Chain A
Amino acid sequence: MTGAGEVAQDTIASQIGLGDLSQPARVRSLWRDAMRRLLKNRLAVAGLAVVLLFLFAAAFGPYITPYDFLAQNVKEALQPASARHLMGTDPLGRDIFSRILYGARTAFLVGFTATAISLTIGILLGSLAGFMGGRVDSFIMWLTDITMSIPGILLAMVVSTALKRPIAAWFERMYMQTRHPFYLNTLWLDFVLVFGALAFISWPGYCRLIRGQVLSLQKLLYVEAARMVGGRTSHIILRHLIPNAIGPVVVAVTAGIGGAILLESSLSFLGVGVQPPNASWGSMLNNSLSLWRTYPHLMVYPAVTIGVIQISFTFLGDGLNDALNPRQTR
């Protein structure tokens, strides 16, 4: 597929704006182009593969392993890795492999939800700032500046400390009203806390990005041209604004999911995020701090897992950036 002839044709074709001449029936879209560039990048493909593997583990983890992540078996506590327990067992005899798989569920749940919440806040405030300008703009930018100058982990810890009691009280009240067993499940409480804390610290990044996009796109010539030839507003937004604005946003969201997963494990490591008996890589790592000298397997598996997923997200994010924002690269 990639010959010198094709490359030359690409350049000429794109210069005169005809699209791919070899396939006249099919117009080359942004996504096809981006996909091709992404697949050429071997590191990005490797990163994508690992992320998909962990997503698979998060979705189907319970069907892969014979052990429940909460099942304790004190007779088999603190075993090193073996055929029975692929990664050994922890002090309560829980299977570490199962807990790592469930940890993937925790990580992605937090990653997606927290990113969705902060992206929503970011889109609302960012587009408000970009469209309104003036005082509204400078006020929102002041808020982002201030939020960003508080060290992130510190802010997340403060928020989660503050939210803990009200959310627990709310869960209790909801149970009293509805008698629904969902509200008795304290495992969910930690998640709500972490969502709140992460949304609180990660919205300013998205807000600035969206504002910048709104500001830069309004001034573009082709938007004006489309308007001049009588394009409907919906057409302009759907066909011109969104496709051009979405590249950096996709990159930011991918990096953001990785970042949220990292923050979740950071908070859990510090003992304010997702806590046992919930499975979280961060809290598994924290729990191993007093035992690793005699049982290093407790520490090594969760540590390597966090490292691998973070590196994969970095490669994937960089690859997407190169693929979707080709003009940015030197």
Chain B
Amino acid sequence: MLAYVITRTVRWGSGLLLVLVTTYAMMFYGAGDPVKRMFDELSQGGAVFDKSVQDAMRKELGLDKPFHEQFINYLVKLSQGNLGISIRERRPVINMVRVRLPISVQIGLMATGLAALIGIPLGVLAALKHNRWTDTTIVGSAVFINAVPVFVTGPLLLVFFVLVLDIMDVPFGWKGPFDKQIILPLILMTMAPLPALVRQTRAGLLEVMGEDYIRTARAKGLTERMVVMRHMLRPVLIPVITVLGFIMIGLVNGALFVETIFNIPGFGQLTYQGLTQVDYPVIMAVVLIGTVIVMVGNLLVDLAYPLLDPRITAGK
């Protein structure tokens, strides 16, 4: 187990390093000088700058050095927990992340919880009513929700709720997790992991339903409720957690769209802002955090699996 964790850490740690080098190189050689880009934009507005101002700014941010020096500097700072200073906003990126990330995490956690609360019972219901209209409806809607991307559902729901039904104002911005404005973003974020949860639960339950021990449980006179909750659902919920890694990717990707549509100042918007402004330190930070979130999600799945199911050992 320990050996497994160590090899895994080395494998992914080196991978993360590769991701960081590649991203930095893509920015350095591809996207070009962020200071020049910023001043070009400013001078389009009619402002005139002395070249020495740009040089001073480059020097201050360490952008005048060659690639390898810049990157090593970045790594040293990173190991001290310093994500660098935003070129556009001139403040530590870590502070920006501290403000933005919790907002997305709150929505993400609520959405995952809600999806589990809705998805697992729906999966059970579909399996119990196998091949009847309830099953068909649930599976059919899951396919629909899975196929239609969030940036299509979002606008359509907006038109429907605000214009057709006229029951809400346009949700805009962030007023905390308990404000009613969160309803629509939350619905959209919940829709992403929902189909996978339903499908996984349903498939697992269908597989287990014919087993001998289920018949035994019924034969000894347990109520149907007990049979489902105790005997069917328990082994089924183990594979359900494998979709966690998938959910993580979905949440990071989904935040980008939902926060763009509803103008929520979260992690997704920070990503968007960093990339459109070619703000190196911000881009590096969001790539780092996004990748770590997904990697940790996958690692948790792999570690939790053998704990929940003794037949499986980690690393296999």
Contact = CB atoms under 8 A, between A and B. Distances in A.
Contacts of A300: 155-156, 159
A115 interface: no
Contacts, number: 132
Contacts of B170: 293
Contacts of A152: 249, 253
How many residues of B sit at the interface, in one of the four size bands? 35 or more
Contact of B261 (A165, A289, A306): A289
Nearest to A305: B152
B45 interface: no
A21 interface: no
A293 B143 contact: no
Interface string A298-316: 0110011011001101100
Given A142-B15, A166-B30, A306-B152, A311 B147 contact: yes
A47 to B, nearest CB: 10
Interface residues on A, range: 35 or more
Interface in A257-287: 262, 265-266, 269-272, 282, 285
B260 interface: yes
Given A166-B30, A300-B159, A150 B256 contact: no
B149 interface: yes
B242 interface: no
A265 to B, nearest CB: 7
A47 B158 CA distance: 27
A146 B15 CA distance: 6
Contacts of A11: none
B134 interface: no
A318 B195 CA distance: 15
A149 B294 contact: yes
B11 A292 contact: no
Contacts of A151: 249, 252-253, 290-291, 294
Contacts of A272: 275-276
B146 A314 contact: yes
Interface in A110-158: 142, 145-146, 149-155, 157-158
B26 A314 contact: no
Interface in B5-48: 11-12, 15-16, 18-19, 23, 26-27, 29-32
B305 to A, nearest CB: 17
Interface of B: 11-12, 15-16, 18-19, 23, 26-27, 29-32, 143-144, 146-149, 151-153, 155-156, 158-159, 162-163, 170, 249, 252-253, 256-257, 260-261, 271-272, 275-276, 278, 283, 286-287, 290-291, 294-295, 298
Given A151-B290, A262-B149, 4 more contacts: A146-B15, A146-B18, A163-B30, A314-B143
**Lowest 10 A-B CB distances belong to which pairs?**
A162-B30, A162-B26, A146-B15, A151-B252, A314-B147, A307-B148, A311-B147, A303-B152, A310-B147, A149-B294
